[in-house]
Amino acid sequence: MKLFDRDLSWLSFNYRVLMEAMDTEVPLLERLRFIAIYSSNLDEFFRVRVANIRSIKEIDKKKINKRIDFNAKTLLEDIHSEVNVQLNEYGAALKNIIDAFREKEYVICMHTDDIPDSLNPQLLHYFKTKVLAYLRPIEILKNEPLFLDNQAIYLAIQLRNGRSFVVNIPTQHLSRFSSYTEGGKTYYVFLDDAIRLHFDILFPKNEVESAHAIKLNKDSDLQIDDEFEGNLVRKIEKQIQKRNLGIPSRFLFDSEMNTKFISKLTEKLGLAPEDMIKGGRYHNLNDFFQINIKDEGLTYPNNSPVSVPALEASRSIFQSIEIQDRLLHFPYQSYDYVLQFFNEAATDPEVEEINVTFYRMAKDSIIAEALISAAKNGKKVSVFMEVKARFDEENNLIWARKMRVAGVKIIYSLPGLKVHAKVALVKKNDIMYGFFGTGNLNEKTSEIYCDHGLLSTDPNMTRELSEVFQHLLTKYTPPPFKHLIVSQFGAIEAFIAKIDREISHAEEGKEARIIIKINNLQEPRLIQKLYEAANKGVDVKLIIRSICCLIPNKQLQVKRIVDRYLEHGRVFYFHNDGSQEIFLGSSDWMNRNLHRRIEVCFPVLEDRMKQEILTILKFQWQDDVKGVWLSDTLENQRPNSQKKVRAQVDTFNYLKDQYG
């Protein structure tokens, strides 16, 4: 079975992000933000994925098959080739955006020549009073090592007298941009250029011959040799501290730098030829997020979340859930209902116990504060904290310590597994109230991620959720799950059985249909089953946002949607001979989700809720504004139809009609 490479597939997705930056129908400031998202995505890709591929390539050939080493080398070449092509389009897109801003009297200065002389006094004052405090020039000396921080940006400087330095651009202390109004225009000046303009202060009596931006990405994946022995949390804390010491994965440099100076830096930093990536004058352009222009014509229109009248009218969210399960769709509906769920649980005198899983927490988490209050109010509160959530390890550890001090029982990561489930369980008297989600319990990301959450008292689902928590808290082995689909407990087999059922129905001449909407598709057994189902006559629709290792064909099409909000919900639909089954959940169909994580997928039982999900899926499949078809060559192909269906806008309008 031939499959797309997962990394090249991901690059195809990131190009789809870049397409939004190139789309003149997208509001101008939002286009700049898509440039920032593309830059941030690519940066993480090199820090993690490319670094891992490099590690495979550099392992002693005696320890691995030579074919693996060859494949790693070839893959790196393919990655760099594709990235170089994309970066050319990225540069052209950025130039178009900058020019369009200039027409609207907003000047993002892309060179010191763009800065009017009249701003020099203000920039001088800013440099002397703010910037200079954080500058730490490091001379590049022949017999001394040179160390650059991971992801940090520097100016590599050559003086006329032959000496050379690297100077940090202190974005961890100061905004990347300073803004000034002059002559009816607003100017945004890079911190880099605030430094360039004042080299005479930084290097008195020395003339600067050249100054170019550089940046070094390093392997940022935590390397835990053995998760089963010793204190895992302490090992993770040590690895976080060592993240700045990872092996190089990308050295980004201004293409205007002279080759002799590049060679000098290459030798000093121990870089390989494949690490070297030509870039522009400025790096870390994810900092464009810091430009926040108050102009409604430059941004998406403001959308107020759709209210749920039954939840608004009830003084107790628990009473409302007892009457009827509540399915919520974020960000179209407010995440405040989820906060209310935890806040009420913390203060309701009849609540006895609260169990929660966390994967990525908000830095100022209201949910965590509610759990602290619950513990102080005498309730039994248990939190499973995943401390191996990449780049969120430190924040999760901080919150775990705060909650533990308050009396919350904290259970940390399981050796060899990540707990990615998005669930909570509240026990009150003889009733259990469950929250089942597709996205993190994080009120900040809920504003920009499209997800689903179910508040339910269904006894079968909450009983099985209680068994999931017993497993996490005590390593109890639960009986087979009959209602939930839980990875590590037969999830792959459960999905295969449902696909096989659709295949049987198709072979019997019955209507057979599958719709899978996930972020990533990689697991080979499930891909093989999808091919088989499509070949046997099952109507299979796939909506895959990011990685898709399945190669589309005439019987098996793949829709990809990138729009204002990040499509993040996971939906699994099976026609089941008319007795439709819909599951939602935290799990993508990736090897990591199904083999190395604990995930929870849950059924949607009520017909009204099923119809909501099916309507949203219909909008997504028909989306010809922000949806593209993934081709068998990894291209993002625009649909030919002119229906002008835009799933996210149509979903908002549909829910307004439903709940208005």
State the catalytic residues: 420
Work out the angle at residue 286's Cα, subtended by the Cα atoms of residues 283 and 290, and round it to the nearest 5 degrees. Answer: 115
CB count, 10 Å around CB of 483? 15
Q: Which residues contact 639 (CB under 8 A, 6 or more apart)?
A: 624, 627, 628, 629
Per the DSSP assignment, residues forming a β-bridge with 570 are 585
Q: How far is CA 652 from CA 30, 309, 437, 640, 645, in A?
A: 19, 16, 19, 24, 12
Work out the angle at residue 121's Cα, subtended by the Cα atoms of residues 120 and 127, and round it to the nearest 5 degrees. Answer: 85
Report which of 326, 360, 571, 350 is spatially closest to residue 435, judged by C-alpha positions.
Answer: 326
Taking the C-alpha atoms of residue 292 and residue 322, their distance in angstroms, rounded to an integer, is 44
Taking the C-alpha atoms of residue 628 and residue 634, their distance in angstroms, rounded to an integer, is 11
CB count, 10 Å around CB of 421? 28
Element (H, E) at 171: none
Taking the C-alpha atoms of residue 324 and residue 457, their distance in angstroms, rounded to an integer, is 8
Work out the angle at residue 33's Cα, subtended by the Cα atoms of residues 638 and 282, and round it to the nearest 5 degrees. Answer: 110
- Determine whether 648 is exposed, middle or buried from the number of CB atoms within 10 Å of its CB (0-12, 13-18, 19+): buried
Q: How far is CA 300 from CA 38, 284, 441, 643, in A?
A: 18, 24, 25, 21
Q: Which residues contact 514 (CB under 8 A, 6 or more apart)?
A: 499, 502, 530, 533, 538, 539, 540, 541, 573, 574, 575
Q: Which two tokens stand for residue 333?
A: 């509906």
Q: Position of tokens 């088989």? A: 532
Q: Which residues contact 453 (CB under 8 A, 6 or more apart)?
A: 327, 328, 330, 338, 435, 436, 437, 438, 439
Report which of 149, 274, 279 is spatially closest to residue 216, judged by C-alpha positions.
Answer: 149
Helix (H, G, I), strand (E, B) or coil at 637: strand
Q: How far is CA 364 from CA 340, 367, 370, 398, in A?
A: 16, 9, 12, 11
Taking the C-alpha atoms of residue 445 and residue 449, their distance in angstroms, rounded to an integer, is 6
